[in-house]
Chains A and B, each alone.
Chain A
Amino acid sequence: MAALKMGARLRSTVCAGEIMVVMAPDTEVEMTCGGAAMVDAGESVTPSGEVHPDHAVGVVMGKRYIDEAETLEVLCVKAGEGSLAANGALLLQKDTKKLPKTD
């Protein structure tokens, strides 16, 4: 467990999923994808092991995910089969409000 840093990139160890931290709480967080702890995207880890069946809905590129308390927000930058969770609780997909195109 470690405190997450805004802007940090993490990758899954059981699928191709990769995220960027948009907003992080002050407390320590264990980020998992597919049920397995995520690692810094700079670490060269070949995906190994299985996606846990309870964490297998998947993560979609370009979608943002938040925790129940809305203190943690991440952006999926690479899609994967595993679902995201923080301290064991699955994250929820956040909707981007449809806005008129302005620029």
Chain B
Amino acid sequence: MNVMMLLEMASAAFPERLAFTDGSSGASYTYQQLFDAARLRAGTIQASGANRLVKLDVSNLGTPLSLFASAWAGVPYVPLNYRLTDAEIQSLLARVTPAYLVTDAERVAELGATDDVKAASTQSFLDDTQHDQGMEDPWAMDPEDIAVLLFTSGTTGEPKAAVLRHKHLVSYILGSVEFAGADDSDAALVCVPPYHIAGIAAIMSSVYSGRHVVQLPNFSAEAWIELARKHSISTAFVVPTMLARIVECLEGEGVSDAQMPHLNSLSYGGGKMPLSVIEKAMALFPNTDFSNAYGLTETSSTICVLGPEEHRQAVAATTEAERRRLVSVGRPLPGVEIEIRDEDGHQVPAGERGEIYVRGEQVSGEYEGRGSVTDSDGWFPTRDAGSLDEEGYLFLEGRADDVIVRGGENLSPGEIEDVMLTHPAIADAAVVGVPSEQWGEAVAAAVVAKSGAEIEVAELQDFIKERLRSSRVPELIQVWAELPYNETGKLLRRVVRSELGEAAQS
């Protein structure tokens, strides 16, 4: 097994079809051109003696080329986050040498100064005349070979390198994508960063279905809307904060319809989607299918999906339980199993909160230098908290570590946030635990007001008290201009915790 095989099949089936277009420069590869280009770079990588290919740059044609060329050459592909500080980049790079590094021209001299890093600019990597010995031998088919090393974000301390083997990525694609399923008029707009698992999954699934990818390197709502209209985009994936900005921008245009008649499907994931945003988006894109995807780096991307029909049913629903489905991440993909377990590792009944465990062929759960953290039956503990309803719909409730322990009682921030978000004056809310002499931890919240609205702290506390047990009412509530998010839409809860913790001490 090798992810190169996905490109081999696509280039045999539709050699002349457009595969990738850089939305910023307009440069393109057809499937045959991408295949031939990968052969040339595989030769260069092999000749360099490197055993990793590192890509440190925004999305461009070099992104899919790096993934496939490294698979052909038999070395892991390591996309790095170009937003990190120089010191952080140096420290990650030192962990993956000897490396062939593809990066922007300004960084070549500095990062390529050591013997075990051979650096090339993206421009020269993309230039055919810089590569003279294509790789003739067929690529290795060992399913255990490592395809991708991905440094995970979010947690404190040293980043972990998740190991994704060819068997995990190929299993994910074969199980979820129909070969040649796209029409030649289909086009996907990809705006997630190349170092994110969703960015890697987008390359592979588009190639296997034969879909043209248009890359948007630096997201802005204006650029997204412009490219979607210009390229008659039929499918796209966004994180919640991106969708919120797109909705705002369309509302600013004063349109009641997004005027993207080609956009058949819009999927989202990577963080919690506010109900108000998805409801507005569904109104602005009346003919678009919405899907909510939940997945992790360690699971080769998506493991659960809430599909278009389920979105429409939830919006039209009359009962609260059915409406709530709109904030669920749906049900597991075929071949993926989900369980919710308590702290002792026992499965909990439907409706109860616990840690999400997942099992399936696409699940790696392995970190470089640390081995696999899956148990003997193949279950991977996600560290995400959640619950399943009676029909198997999964609801996310933050990280398992985010639980607040107040006077011995376990409280879920998500439950409290959900109630606060139903208040008419509240646009966004984050609930965290802060140190308390009396309770060990106390409940604190940062909230953002809707434009033009005013938040009365005491009134908000009463509002929560009417709906939840009194132990869940935040003792400290601050009104902020905005909450801190990272670029893929994840709430930076540790930042909220630290600021509110200081306020609680004073």
Contacts and interface: CB of A to CB of B under 8 A. Distances in A.
B302 A8 contact: no
Given A97-B334, A103-B237, A61 B9 contact: yes
Interface residues of A, number: 23
Interface in B92-145: 138, 141-143
Contacts of A61: 9, 12-13, 179-180
Contact of B305 (A6, A22, A102): A102
Nearest to B310: A100
Contacts of A63: 179
Interface string A53-88: 000000001111000000000010110000000000
A49 interface: no
B138 A103 contact: no
A69 B50 CA distance: 44
Contacts of B267: 100-103
B46 interface: no
B301 interface: yes
A99 B333 contact: yes
B291 A75 contact: no
A9 B141 contact: yes
A20 interface: yes
Nearest to A73: B174
B174 A100 contact: no
A77 B4 CA distance: 12
Contacts of B333: 99
Contacts of B501: none
Contacts of B179: 61-63, 96
A103 B305 contact: no
Nearest to A8: B141
Given A61-B13, A75-B174, A100 B308 contact: yes
A62 B5 contact: no
Nearest to B264: A101
Interface in B361-404: none
Contacts of B289: 100
Interface in B276-309: 289, 291, 293, 301-302, 305, 307-308
Contact of B302 (A6, A96, A103): A103
Contacts of A22: 1, 171, 174
Interface string A26-63: 00000000000000011000000000000000000111
A6 B1 contact: yes
B201 interface: yes
A49 B73 CA distance: 35
Interface string B1-12: 110010011001
Given A20-B1, A97-B334, A102 B174 contact: no
Contacts of B205: 101, 103
Contact of B265 (A8, A64, A97, A101): A101
A53 B177 CA distance: 32
B235 interface: yes
Interface string B185-224: 0000000000000100110010000000000000000000
Contacts of B497: none
A102 B267 CA distance: 5
A22 B2 CA distance: 11
Contact of B293 (A7, A41, A97, A102): A102
Contacts of B138: 41-42
Contacts of A102: 176, 237, 267, 269, 291, 293, 302, 305
A20 B141 contact: yes
B342 interface: no
Nearest to B236: A101
Given A7-B143, A8-B141, A100 B1 contact: no
Contacts of B202: 103
Contact of A101 (B1, B12, B235): B235
11 contacts: A6-B1, A7-B1, A22-B1, A22-B174, A77-B5, A96-B174, A96-B177, A99-B305, A101-B291, A103-B201, A103-B237
Interface of B: 1-2, 5, 8-9, 12-13, 138, 141-143, 166-167, 171, 174-180, 198, 201-202, 205, 235, 237, 265, 267, 269, 289, 291, 293, 301-302, 305, 307-308, 333-334
Given A22-B171, A22-B174, 18 more contacts: A7-B143, A20-B1, A20-B141, A42-B138, A61-B9, A61-B12, A62-B180, A63-B179, A64-B174, A96-B175, A97-B334, A99-B334, A100-B291, A100-B307, A100-B308, A102-B176, A102-B267, A102-B302
Closest 10 CB pairs of A and B: A62-B179, A102-B293, A7-B143, A7-B1, A100-B291, A103-B201, A100-B307, A7-B141, A102-B267, A103-B202
